[in-house]
Amino acid sequence: MKNYNVYCLDLDGTVYHGTEPIPEAVSFISDLQSQGIEPYYITNNSTATPEQVIEKLASFGIKTYVDKIMSSALVSAKYCKEHYDGATVQIMGEKGLHDALVSEGFTFVTENPDIVVVGLDREVSYSKFTEIALAIRSGAKFIATNGDKAIPTERGLLPGAGSLVKLLEFTTGVKPVILGKPESHMLAFIKSENGYSKEEMVMVGDNYDTDILSGIRYGIDTIYVEGGVTSKEEILSQAEKPTHLLRTLADWQL
């Protein structure tokens, strides 16, 4: 095993399952912190603000900070700032996405936006789809927080942001720029904002198609942990395997 300095942890399925913490992950994080390493938390969830993520982790006894949270909402806002600074925006999304764009200084409009950013919106309506679709047809840049088909909940798998994005793509014929995992924009921002090298970074997660692929595509090491979305059998059948395979994070020697 290798000692990394920058641990990028997926949240749901890696640190907790819904509202239940994963005890091995909680002790792993505490061990990292006792060695002076504050991990990053990388989530495709665009609905929560960093403060809400911090509050949820605090309820499991995990202390962290705003600058350690990287969500698909934050990366979308950072991407828009980098490529379309000063543009007008219209969103389909919740508080996490709205606040991320506000903190990057974007102005919201109700028609003719320069960009639309689409994330999970659990109260979306036909009229909202209509507004966003018309904006894309009028030439607005089409940005998607992430392409997740489904989100795991107590009730089962519910439609994810990617399902809303697909509807818009289908009706407009325009393909969006997608920013969350398995793309590697979140890892790239963490590296560039802190001056890390890829060798010291590792992406840790339970989902091959998002977590592990984002690390592989970015060219950093990956740690797959069993017990979440991807089974060990599915991992073993992949041509490109994670760097490390663990049953739980208790198996990682720091």
Q: Which chain residues interact with Mg ion by CB under 5 A?
A: 10, 12-13, 206-207
- For β-strands 88-92 and 40-43, DSSP reports them as unpaired
- 45 vs 49, beta carbon nearer Mg ion: 45
For residue 210, the minimal CB distance to Mg ion (Å) is 7
- 10 vs 24, beta carbon nearer Mg ion: 10
Burial of 131-150, coded b for 16+ CB within 10 Å and e otherwise, reads bbbbbbeeebbbbbbbbbee
For residue 198, the minimal CB distance to Mg ion (Å) is 22
Question: In the numeric block, which tokens belong to residue 98?
Answer: 């709205």
Do residues 204 and 9 touch, judged by C-beta distance below 8 A? yes
- Beta-bridged to residue 150, according to DSSP, are 159
- 20 vs 123, beta carbon nearer Mg ion: 20
- 13 vs 147, beta carbon nearer Mg ion: 13
Within the chain, residue ranges assigned H as helices are 23-34, 50-59, 72-84, 95-103, 126-137, 161-172, 185-194, 213-218, 232-236
Nearest residue to Mg ion, scored by beta-carbon proximity: 13
For residue 249, the minimal CB distance to Mg ion (Å) is 13
- Beta-bridged to residue 10, according to DSSP, are 42
Distance of CA 46 to the CA centre of its chain: 7
For residue 124, the minimal CB distance to Mg ion (Å) is 23
- 116 vs 178, beta carbon nearer Mg ion: 178
Helix (H, G, I), strand (E, B) or coil at 129: helix
For residue 25, the minimal CB distance to Mg ion (Å) is 11
Evaluate the omega torsion of the peptide bond into residue 159 and state whether it is cis, within 30 degrees of 0. no
